[in-house]
Structure 1
Amino acid sequence: MSESEETFYTADRWQNWLDRVAEEDLDPENEDSARLLLNLQDDTAIAVAKILAAYDDGRLNEEEATEEVADIRDIVLADVDIADEEKAMLIDGVQTSLVCVFYTAEEYIVGGPAEEGSVAEYVDAAAAAEAEEDVDAALGYLVQAGTRIIDGEKLPMDLVEDLEYGFVSEWVNGLDSLQSAMADPEVVEEDE
């Protein structure tokens, strides 16, 4: 490994978060529990943002950047072995939110930001596609929205608040984490 190679994320890091979730007495209505899950999600989004920054700065080429994103995706989206069903569902929600983040990062690296349409238009199109039960199209629209977010366009929060609960709202939640990570890619401390 050369000096220039960075480690963006590790299986150990993800496992540390999972161990914390397993140990905590989680209540999604409780602010501390919600923060732990959000930190878990944000920590992953920050790692993705750092890969995108390294790509934009020329420290990673296209192939290296897509491999780094794929490595994190493989770690984070692997089946989680948590006996507590409720905690497993909460982790699944975090994983679902991050699916769009990974595809967005890969799309941005390979194709750059979407050239047409605003973030709001893509989110609206995704919500409409989900209403028609076309989940693949919904994800595709949000990936395009995500590439615009990476490029600096803001996710309109009023639009987000109006979304029905479902895949689109979960994926937009992930894009919100990515937007925050792009703005401030500081590591979330695991012991916060």
Structure 2
Amino acid sequence: MSTPPEAYYSEERWQNWIDRLRDEEIDPEDEDSARLLLNLQDDAAIAVAKIVNAAEDGHLEQEEALEELVDVRDIVLADVEVEDEETAFLIDGVQTSLVCVFAAAEEYLVRGVPEEAALPEYVRAAADAEAEEDFDAALSYCAQAGARIIDGDDLDVSVAEDIEYGLVAEWINGLDSLQSAVRDPEVIEEEEEG
């Protein structure tokens, strides 16, 4: 039994979220706006979790799962044309957070679960690497933390409190969405109104 194309995520689904964001006055201080942005992020993270689950359950070969991840990543990380600068900035933040979600899933599928350290140590190593401006290493450490989350470790987001705002903080935000998606991969309805 093969999975139909676009079963995990579609261009149309992403575009529907973007259209909603375009149509609303987005204010990150507003609870409904914040929820809409989080739903956009969580929805993509759920797609990633479903691909990983399908690979674990034997419904997808590793190579197929990696291809599905690339397909979803290409949709979600493509440039978004939004005239409102604030909205464009916020969508970019969501995309930045999701970079780590894809990296974590790939890490898990290709290299498995890293055993060298506890999850918070990967986060600290990522922050240290970012401070040294070694962004590739920082992403790699965050991806390893994400692989541990997929395997069942819990991320306490309070570890991010000491981290300066930057890429690692954004990636941890993505890992929080991944953790929610792995624990409860329920699809968020696009039409859902707050």
Q: TM-score band, normalised by the shorter chain?
A: over 0.9
State the one-letter code of the partner of 2:38: L
Question: How far apart in 2 are the matches of 1:49 and 1:158?
Answer: 23
Question: How far apart in 1 are the matches of 2:163 and 2:190?
Answer: 30
| TM-score under structure 1 length normalisation | 0.96
State the one-letter code of the partner of 1:117: A
> Where does residue 4 of structure 1 map in the other structure?
2
Sequence identity (%): 66
Deviant stretches of 4+, over 3 Å: none
User: Over aligned residues, Cα RMSD in angstroms?
Assistant: 0.9
Structure 2 segments unaligned to the other structure (5+ residues): none
Aligned 8 A contact 2:9 2:47 in 1: yes
> Where does residue 103 of structure 1 map in the other structure?
103
Deviation (angstroms), 1:171: 0.3
Question: How far apart in 1 are the matches of 2:108 and 2:47?
Answer: 15
> Where does residue 81 of structure 1 map in the other structure?
81
| TM-score under structure 2 length normalisation | 0.95
Deviation (angstroms), 1:150: 0.5
> Where does residue 63 of structure 1 map in the other structure?
63
Deviation (angstroms), 1:189: 1.0
Of 72-81 and 128-137, deviating more is 128-137
> Where does residue 146 of structure 2 map in the other structure?
146
Aligned 8 A contact 2:157 2:172 in 1: no
User: SS of the residue aligned with 2:14?
Assistant: helix
1:28-47 aligned within 5 A = 28-47=28-47
Aligned 8 A contact 2:10 2:72 in 1: yes
State the one-letter code of the partner of 1:77: L
> Where does residue 27 of structure 1 map in the other structure?
27
Question: How far apart in 2 are the matches of 1:35 and 1:41?
Answer: 10
Question: How far apart in 1 are the matches of 2:12 and 2:161?
Answer: 34
Question: How far apart in 1 are the matches of 2:110 and 2:128?
Answer: 26
Question: How far apart in 1 are the matches of 2:115 and 2:59?
Answer: 25
Question: How far apart in 1 are the matches of 2:185 and 2:141?
Answer: 25
Deviation (angstroms), 1:115: 2.1
State the one-letter code of the partner of 2:117: G
State the one-letter code of the partner of 2:21: V
Question: How far apart in 2 are the matches of 1:29 and 1:184?
Answer: 26
Count residues in correspondence: 190
